[in-house]
Structure 1
């Protein structure tokens, strides 16, 4: 028996007036998700606990059975591990955005027009920077998917107790990074970060990639915004924890990083952008191929619905959910597979950010007690046999259905 968890990132939502009070998932044409719901046991899930606005990182850790309050040090280390940086103890890692700033360093686009190309050339320029007075600190910068990137600081006397540079909205300059605990190490780290942000604009404003983007009417990626500081955590490997061999198919560096740090084999998919333009056919073929390999467990993350939610793109979210549904319809029958379909959090288009609303979940496979739910959606799932569970319950339920759970007691 194999176990599969497919997470449609940010798929869950809130009722929308333009959809006559339905959510995008409820309004979308999803015959294949409905078929899955009808053949399984349904419920709603709080990724961490009720009302907690989970990030994709903390929710995935919880769903995989790790306590995010213990192992989560910040987003940066996971993002860095996901793009191939060999992070080491003592490194301080940050998630970054390529962004657009005007001549007054006011951010005009936090995602640099959803940049898709040229970021590797920009990353090389960032890596060549030197910060005067801090020559003992190595700057390791690498592009991720789209507007995402990672920054790693390696050197003595550094700490992760620092604030973000990202102002979180346009029309504001980058925030001054500050120490959050007053320690000499964190104050030193904050000073370095502030210099890196300012210096990034100086070296990128006239970069050939950006001059070309400007000439084509596109937003330049002329500044970086670090956030999500974290020291590299010590995470128990998934196979050690559960005794099963696992693989991960994901689009973004963040989720790939969770796969890497938990010891999963990360399967790269060409054309998987993490946006609504992602290659779902390529993802489907990778899923089929991986399930035919010698793996016991497969984690899948598909990200486009989350992007649409953050952009407030109602039509884009509807269309993407329907595309994912069509992909599910093209999947072959999976015998001896316990399959879970869910989301990692809600990203309502009306809020344009994550919320603490629970998400729908359905489990299918041999031995599942099928309930009477006929469609897959936030409110329909709430009537199902799983009732309301937490993300931390999922691995126990899955391993039990896979007949790989040890008995507790005599």
Structure 2
């Protein structure tokens, strides 16, 4: 049997007044998601555990069945791997935003208007960066999708670096970048923090007048004129998923982060033309790739991530989130709901409520369809109806074990 987990990033939400006190998922017209709920078994899922706010990284790692306290060092290494960067032992990696700052270095747009083009050219300039006093540290930038990028610091001398440093991201517009501080007392952490503080200031000086930004400003678009690093992490050791579960696996991601998680897990990565990680992503290409591989013989497990609902949640745009959910239902879920000889898990990695514009610990709906599923009485796929289902309330770390058992790919515990 084949199995797949389709994660709609940031799908969960909270009731909104403008939607008659419904969530965007409740208010959306989703006949195909509802068909999955009606044909399957439903429940609520805490991707880590109740009350713990997940990142997209920690949520996906948990859903894949890994112990977060063993393999998670920070988001940076996964982002770096996702964009094809070969991180090495001793490297410290960060995820970054191309952001917009005014002349006083106050952040006016954390995502530089969700820039889509020109970041490669900006990175070419940034990769000439050398920090005075730290000439023995190699600074490497690499663009990812949209406003995202990665940064790798590599010590080329005898002095080492540390991932025990705080983030630069102020989290809200109208504030300056946060000053990076060491979060332990080591010389390496203090050294790394000093490098980052100087790096942020230098990035502004190097790219504020870049031709890409001059063109954006002429068009009234926010320039990508400063780099905001966060999510520091050293290189982790991860058991290959294929060995862990005795499967042939592939990851169909939209963003560098999920691509990186798949790479660290030893999964094959299937990249999709036109996948942006936003509401403008090419869903037709995504579903065609999913169906082709679901019907093929190369893989028996697929992990799929579709990211647009999360983007709309972070932007506080309920209309955009609702419309994207409906679009996924019509283009993607309609085809998947009719696949045979395949177990499909439909869920989210976390909630990104429009009212909060960030992740919360609210549990997300989960539904499973496939042969011989114990069908319950739920016939709507949303956060409110899901609790009535036969799965009850589970954790992300339960998902792979449940799927492997359904696929007859588990071994007995005991005699």
Asked whether the two chains share a fold, i.e. TM above 0.5, the reply is yes
C-alpha deviation, 1:261, in angstroms: 0.4
The one of 376, 391, 398 equivalent to 2:396 is 391
User: Aligned residue pairs: how many?
Assistant: 410
User: What is the match of residue 231 of structure 1?
Assistant: 234
User: What is the match of residue 148 of structure 2?
Assistant: 148
CA deviations on 1:26-67 (whole Å, 9 max, x unpaired) are: 100000000111000000011010011111000111100001
* Partner SS, residue 274 of structure 1: coil
* Partner SS, residue 378 of structure 1: coil
Q: Distance in 2 between matches of 1:96 and 1:320?
A: 26
* Partner SS, residue 394 of structure 1: helix
1:192-231 mapped onto 2 (5 Å cutoff): 192-231=195-234
User: What is the match of residue 81 of structure 1?
Assistant: 81
Unaligned runs of at least 5 residues, structure 1: none
User: What is the match of residue 71 of structure 1?
Assistant: 71
Q: Distance in 2 between matches of 1:149 and 1:380?
A: 38
* Partner SS, residue 152 of structure 2: strand
Unaligned runs of at least 5 residues, structure 2: none
Q: Distance in 1 between matches of 2:337 and 2:37?
A: 17
CA deviations on 1:116-163 (whole Å, 9 max, x unpaired) are: 000000111111111112111111110111101000001141000001
* Partner SS, residue 43 of structure 1: strand
Say yes or no: does 1:139 pair with 2:139: yes
C-alpha deviation, 1:293, in angstroms: 4.2
C-alpha deviation, 1:71, in angstroms: 1.2
User: What is the match of residue 119 of structure 2?
Assistant: 119
Q: Distance in 2 between matches of 1:330 and 1:181?
A: 51
* Partner SS, residue 138 of structure 1: strand
* Partner SS, residue 134 of structure 1: coil
Runs of 4+ in structure 1 over 6 Å off: none
- Alignment RMSD: 0.9
CA deviations on 1:189-238 (whole Å, 9 max, x unpaired) are: 11111111111001101101001111111100000000000001011110
Q: Distance in 2 between matches of 1:140 and 1:355?
A: 32
The one of 264, 267, 288 equivalent to 1:264 is 267
C-alpha deviation, 1:332, in angstroms: 7.4
Say yes or no: does 1:305 pair with 2:312: no
C-alpha deviation, 1:289, in angstroms: 2.1
* Partner SS, residue 203 of structure 2: helix
Q: Which moved more, 1:257-266 or 1:331-340?
A: 331-340
Say yes or no: does 1:362 pair with 2:367: yes
Q: Distance in 2 between matches of 1:27 and 1:110?
A: 29
C-alpha deviation, 1:180, in angstroms: 0.6
TM-score in terms of structure 2 length? 0.98
C-alpha deviation, 1:330, in angstroms: 3.6
CA deviations on 1:58-92 (whole Å, 9 max, x unpaired) are: 01111000011221111101110100000111110
The one of 323, 327, 330 equivalent to 1:326 is 330
TM-score in terms of structure 1 length? 0.99
